[in-house]
Structure 1
Amino acid sequence: MKRRTAREFDQELLDLYDYYVHGQLDRRGFLERAAKFAVGGLTAAALLEMLSPHYAFAAQVERTDPRLVAEYLKYPSPRGHGEMRGLFARPAAATGRRPGVLVVHENRGLNPYIEDVVRRLAVAGFVAFGPDALTPVGGYPGNDDEGRAQQAKLDRDKITEDFVAGAEFLAQHAACNGRVGVVGFCFGGGMANTLAWRLPDLIRAAVPYYGGQPAAEHAARIKGALLLHYAALDTRVNAGWPAWEAALKAAGVRYEAHVYPGVNHGFHNDTTPRYDRAAAELSWERTLAFFRQHLG
């Protein structure tokens, strides 16, 4: 299967796809508005298929990689949905306890791309845990469209509590030394911002990728450090950054922000054409260095 790039598509079409995956357009609306880009024998449905994730591209670290040990674990979430499940991974050769990183998925559950990010962190020397917000409805269904629909139906406040409980579970795991960070993408980026202020005594480092920003008054609660990644073409999310940056400065929060030129929301996700290899690799290098600096 050919890996396509954002340069093969009109920016307006990429923006329409962004609206679609974030619930601002339904499938019919996307197809109707994308029809004008369906030329040369293509259909709007074919364009949607081209823009959608192809998870074979996400396997940077295979499930059977001998460098790590991975398993699905359950954990209690009494203020959320009761009992949750997630993918836990640690370095196979690790001796002693390691810093932990919570991985928060996008708005569609624990899909193969996010599971691969969990494994990437384990290979990098951390213990990593990726909860699945869709546990109450049977877990990620294997299809992003269904996953988005299911996540949208769940109580958002309870989802937040599920990730709060996930961070606490990771911190208490026997393989973790209690020093915990969080990285999240899209919805997960917003959750990473949220966990930074919800768990100020636990989250030492938060890395939101193109994540929505909390209300300004929450900045004063943050004690950890933030590394924020934004895509220059992501006007929807970027609109909230100036006010959030002002709040971080006013509160004296340690933060570092990068806006990657010429790339779209989702540039780290290597399963869609919005993926940008240069930005993804640079941001990931910065992310690992940031966690090593603040978690040890």
Structure 2
Amino acid sequence: MADRIDIPTADGPMPAYRFLPEAGTGPGIVLFQEIFGVSDYIKIRAADLAALGYVVIVPEIYWRLDDSEIDESSDGMLQQAMGLMSQLDWPTTVGDGVASVAAARTDEHVDGGVGVFGFCFGGGLAFNVAASTDVDVLVSYYGSALPNLLDLAGDVTAPSLHHFGTADDYLPMDVVERIRAAVSRDGVRFETYDGAGHAFDNPLPMFHHAAASTAAWRHTLDFLATNFPAKP
């Protein structure tokens, strides 16, 4: 089940969703959105994680922006989303991510540590947040900002899992290999998926790669069970 909460920031309360596991308590995961906002897809993934036993907090990263609702049925969806993302101030956005982790650590339902998890835009944001504050794990799906954040790799000390497709037009394989070289260390898993493009886990037909999505989620479950288990 999900409820609405507010996360304190220097500029006022940031709205967020909180998904609770059946037990009502568990380790915390802060889940960061794609450029399309807190879409139905992101809510489904949040519910999937809650079903595993995690308390999942999903901040509305576009909360400062006007007209931030994205019409997923529109042909201009991608352009609209790119326009919204371009309005964000990155340091402020990272600060909102750090505030989300702090809120999770003090949440009455969180029993255990707090990890960060993100898709696309959110994958890069999760990486930067993990470099900026203590987190227990990091899961990043095709983090789009990572090429510009590699100087932070030494500050990310949590166990980490990165997913990339080999047919990603936005992050071609030479860039993916540069990311791999920068982030690789003990405790880091790096998975690639043949023939998968950017946003391959998103169920929209323009993005979805079923085999890669299934394999990546299987790797994610294994990684979490090993490094950040929820209560059975």
Bin the TM-score by the shorter chain.
0.7 to 0.9
Deviations 1:210-253 (A, max 9, x none): 1132543322222211111001101432443333332334xx44
Name the CA distance, whole Å, in 2 between partners of 1:207 and 1:83. Answer: 26
Q: Which residue of 207, 212, 228 maps to 1:295?
A: 228
Which residue number corresponds to residue 207 of structure 1? 139
Cα deviations across residues 135-158 of structure 1 (Å, max 9, x unaligned)? 123674142534442332232221
Match of 2:14 in 1: 84
2:136 maps to a residue whose letter is R
Contact 2:169 2:197 in 1 (8 A): no
Q: Which runs of 5+ in 1 are unaligned?
A: 1-68
Which of 176, 180, 187 is the matching residue for 1:241?
A: 176
Conserved in 2, the CA contact under 8 Å of 1:108 and 1:140? no
> Max radius of gyration: which structure?
1
Q: 5+ residue gaps in structure 2? A: none
TM normalised by structure 2 equals 0.86
Partner SS, residue 180 of structure 1 = strand
Q: Which residue of the partner structure matches residue 156 of structure 1?
A: 90
Which residue does 2:166 correspond to in 1? 232
Q: Is the CA contact 2:97–2:126 (under 8 Å) kept in the aligned structure 1?
A: no
TM-score by length of 1: 0.69
Instruction: Return the offset for 1:206.
Output: 0.8
- Using the alignment, how far apart are the partners of 1:255 and 1:208 within structure 2? 11
Q: How many residue pairs end up in the alignment?
A: 220
How far apart are 1:165 and its partner, in Å? 0.7
Q: SS at the partner of 1:266?
A: coil
Tell whether 2:38 aligns with 1:98: no
- Across the aligned residues of Structure 1 and Structure 2, the Cα RMSD in angstroms comes to 2.0
For residue 60 of structure 2, the aligned residue among 132, 142, 146 is: 132
Q: Report the equivalent of 2:152.
A: 218
Residue 178 of structure 2 aligns to a residue whose secondary structure is helix
Residue of structure 2 in register with 1:192 after alignment: 126
- Out of 36, 41, 53, the position equivalent to 1:113 is 41
Residue in structure 2 matching 1:143, options 45, 53, 71:
71
Mapped partners of 2:84, 2:150: distance in 1 = 29
Write the distance in 2 (CA, Å) between the matches of 1:152 and 1:197: 22
Please give the alpha-carbon distance, in whole angstroms, between the structure 1 residues aligned to 2:99 and 2:21.
23
CA displacement at 1:292 relative to structure 2: 2.2
